Amino acid sequence: MAKKVALLQGNEACALGAVYAGAKFFGGYPITPSTEVAEVLSAELPKVGGKFIQMEDEIGAMAAIIGASLTGAKSITATSGPGVSLKQELIGYACIAETPCVIINVMRGGPSTGMPTGPGQSDVMQARWGTHGDHAAIALVPNSCQEIFEETVRAFNLSEKYRMPVQVLFDEIVGHMRERIVFPEPGELEIIDRQPPSVSPADYKPYDSSKGQVPPLAAFGSGYKFHVTGLNKADDGFPTTKAELVDAEERRQIDKVMDNVDDILKNEEYLTDDAEVIIWAYGSTSRSARYAVNKLREDGIKAGLFRPLTIWPFPEARTAELAKQCKAIIVAEMNLGQMIYEVERVSKGDCAIGGVFRVDGEPINPGQIVDKVKEVL
């Protein structure tokens, strides 16, 4: 039996991926270029018993999805760079309170209002370091409409599995382009739900590290009564200033990600086995980079593409291996240089590093990448 197919925008694919993953709540505020995510979910969530609410602003939207998640509902919001800036304090709250939720950032240029209708990739460092304090981060960077659907599902899975906010970053180009989507059958893609407690309500502790790096999470309204706070806390959820407890909590919340990078990381490689130069690119820019690799091969230059789908945690080990293998790594991104500094950091001088940057609202084209490779080599 043929699978269902459709011609969809990336933003529409994102919304339907959320429904496939089991999302039951959307809290958001309209902002270009992400608004179609909200539009589609406003129609689709009620069909599956979910709820949609447009809040008064981006801060309220982030608070709403945290609250909904704590009642047991898989929750999502969608925005762009300025909206993520407003959400930062509450993203930090979701981190320390270990509240699963998914944040979609359809990236555009900046700073401030920038270019609302143009693409950008200048929020990748914001996704890692935007909120204050020491915290772990997971961020995914799909490059096609099909991949947006699938990576939105994966974002929910990672959020539920590791009890934390997960961001999905794709730029306006992919958010607004239309491509053929092949819908997976129910059950074809793995769906992960948070681990519920196995103890009685009287014995439940929401941050009980004896249960592992990711303590089970009960839902408010399910008979379990517990305390949630943005303060450092003991395993019962109530605030503490005891140095050993604060230290243990901070380290556990970071270790639950860093000890599981092999489960979280995902990337694509193209013609890297014999490559003397690696194009390191993500999102829509990686589509131009793949074309550039083919053109460079035609010109006799052994080029390859490394494309991360998980940008945080950073793919350190594989990037370092490629740096030892090749003569140069060229990082292409629609900003004035962000991920290039991570590539330089882990490459440790083993190869030349060059960058192709663009912030004028136009995509990086293959010719720019080809020219930079030939310049560096």
Q: Which amino acid is at 44?
A: E
Please name which of 357, 312, 311, 365 lies closest in space to residue 330, comparing C-alpha atoms.
357
Cβ-based neighbours of 109, under 8 Å, separated by 6 or more = 115, 118, 119, 120, 122, 334, 359, 361
CATH top class, domain 268-376: alpha beta
At 56 the pLDDT is 96
Tokens of 44: 């689709």
**Spans of the chain, pLDDT less than 70:** 1-2
CB atoms within 10 A of CB 142: 27
> What is the pTM for the complete model shown?
0.97
| Identical fold between 5-182 and 268-376 | yes
At 343 the pLDDT is 98
Residue tagged 């380290």 (tokens): 251
Q: Which amino acid is at 141?
A: V
At 1 the pLDDT is 58
Q: Which amino acid is at 358?
A: R
Residue tagged 């909206």 (tokens): 83
Tokens of 67: 């609250």
At 3 the pLDDT is 84
Please name which of 156, 182, 179, 144 lies closest in space to residue 284, comparing C-alpha atoms.
144
Q: Structural domain boundaries of the chain?
A: 5-182, 201-262, 268-376
Is domain 5-182 classified as CATH 3.40.50.970?
yes
